[in-house]
Amino acid sequence: MLSLDLGIASIPTLWIWAGCPYDRRSSGGYCIFLASNLISWSAKRQQSVARSSTEAAEYRSFILRSKPFLQSPPFSLRGCKENFSTSKQQVTASQNLLTEVLTATRTELILFLRAEAAAAAAKHANGTMVAFLIVFLTSLLTLTTLPAAESRLYSNYYRKSCPRFNQIVQDTVTNKQITSPTTAAATLRLFFHDCLHNGCDASILVSSTPFNKAERDADINLSLPGDAFDVVVRAKTALELACPNTVSCADILAVATRDLVTMMGGPYYNVPLGRRDGRVSKASAVEGTLPRPAMPVSQLIQVFGSRGFSVQEMVALSGAHTIGFTHCSEFSSAIYNYSKSEQYDPQYNPRFAAGLQQACADYHKNPTMSVFNDVMTPNKFDNVYFQNLPKGLGLLKSDHALFNDPRTRPFVELYAKDQNTFFQAFARAMEKLGVHGIQTGRRGEIRHRCDEFN
């Protein structure tokens, strides 16, 4: 069994059955992917075997004729996976994430399939083969005619509807960062907690009601700083005056995060626009979806891996700890009465541990007491966080674990040695995080207020 993978990012699966029934009795069919997830395009699976050796031969012949063309970039032939879904909900969700296929490649493939369909019809081939070619051709044409707002994100999404969008957001975050220097780190953390949990849909911004406990009130989110929420609200207020009911809170949070990272000396990265705000926010759904300060590496890898992020991407995103702070309560067990024989975790540099004990001495009385994540350059986005870890200057148990675990240590050492490499990896990971689980087109809404559903 063969499959065709067009290898184009952000395009959902298109699985068309053609002599490739679930019971695997057919001898010549193959499956077609437009990304990694498998979704059945047909409403009914083919359950019969190939009706003749001629039919099977034609399927095989088509594959062989297609192979030279399809092996050229950006196509690839690979083995079929067994798992798939026929859920209409998944199909609809995937259609909303379609990205426009590049015209040149698409045109070549359409012409190729059109010729194959004509040849099959001319030879009086069975209807299944002709139908397969026609359905696939029609599906490709469908990709080209989806409304732009439903099919992809654009960097200039608000060019006509809100031309001052970027400037308004930039002015807002600049003013906020000047008056509240913790805003950058706070917003970066808020963005991370929003996107990694259930996609970048601004559900983290929604306030709880008597009828619903929202995400922001989940245990792990209670320490999210108010400055991050405030900067989004300020930008939304300004944008509603300039272009009412146009800009989503999800887009505001994504761009504000990028601009603040850049202001702190970090890398600039692309933030395509067109996200819509989610209509669901439940604290009960958050548990287990976000990393915790004391998580072992295996569990961290599982959390990130379940969201499609590699170990290297996980380490790169952990570099966000180069700015910001952590409440003493999050690591107090590692610096006070660590064990019967040791006062603090021996992974800490002794002088650093003593400093932490002094800085957090009254944290029981004042739960807001905090320490910078990177004590060397706390207000600069750089790679010093990674340089600190081999010296025992990591703040959290998970920080030490990144250096001690053989699966993550090579990336820590790489980023500690080369800041440009870290910046490039961080930018790519943030671009990927920024489109994780997004809602576009008719899904979601444009909230009038970021803290409540319409």
What's the pLDDT at 44?
Answer: 33
User: Count of CB atoms within 10 A of residue 344's CB?
Assistant: 19
What's the pLDDT at 409?
Answer: 98
What's the pLDDT at 49?
Answer: 43
> In degrees rounded to 5, what are phi and psi of residue 212?
-155, 125
Sign of the CA dihedral with 117 first, then 123, 129, and 135 last: positive
| Greatest distance between any 2 Cα atoms in the chain | 86
Domain(s) labelled CATH 1.10.520.10 in the chain stretch across 164-285
Can you say how many angstroms the Cα of residue 363 is from the centroid of all Cα atoms in its chain? 35
CATH number, span 164-285:
1.10.520.10
Residues that constitute the known binding site: 194, 199, 201, 203, 215, 291, 321-322, 374, 377, 382
CATH architecture of 297-435: Orthogonal Bundle (1.10)
Residues of the chain with pLDDT under 70: 1-151
Q: Give the total residue count for the chain.
A: 454
- Is the distance from CB of 239 to CB of 247 less than 8 angstroms? yes
What's the pLDDT at 68?
Answer: 56
C-alpha to C-alpha distance for 39 and 94, rounded to whole angstroms: 9
C-alpha to C-alpha distance for 59 and 29, rounded to whole angstroms: 6
Residues that constitute the known binding site for Ca(2+): 194, 199, 201, 203, 215, 322, 374, 377, 382
What's the pLDDT at 181?
Answer: 95
Report pLDDT digits (tens) over 149-159. 334 799 999 99
Just list the catalytic residues.
193
Report pLDDT digits (tens) over 296-353. 999 999 999 999 999 999 999 999 999 999 999 999 999 999 998 999 999 999 999 9
Q: Nearest-5° angle of CA 264, CA 268, CA 273?
A: 120
Domain(s) labelled CATH 1.10.420.10 in the chain stretch across 297-435
E strand spans, 112-219: none
How does strand 2-5 pair with strand 30-33? parallel
C-alpha to C-alpha distance for 115 and 242, rounded to whole angstroms: 52
Residues that constitute the known binding site for heme b: 321
48-57 CB burial, b ≥16 within 10 A, e <16: eebeeeebbe
* pTM across the whole model: 0.69
Write the burial class of residue 232 (CB in 10 Å: 0-12 exposed, 13-18 middle, 19+ buried).
Answer: buried
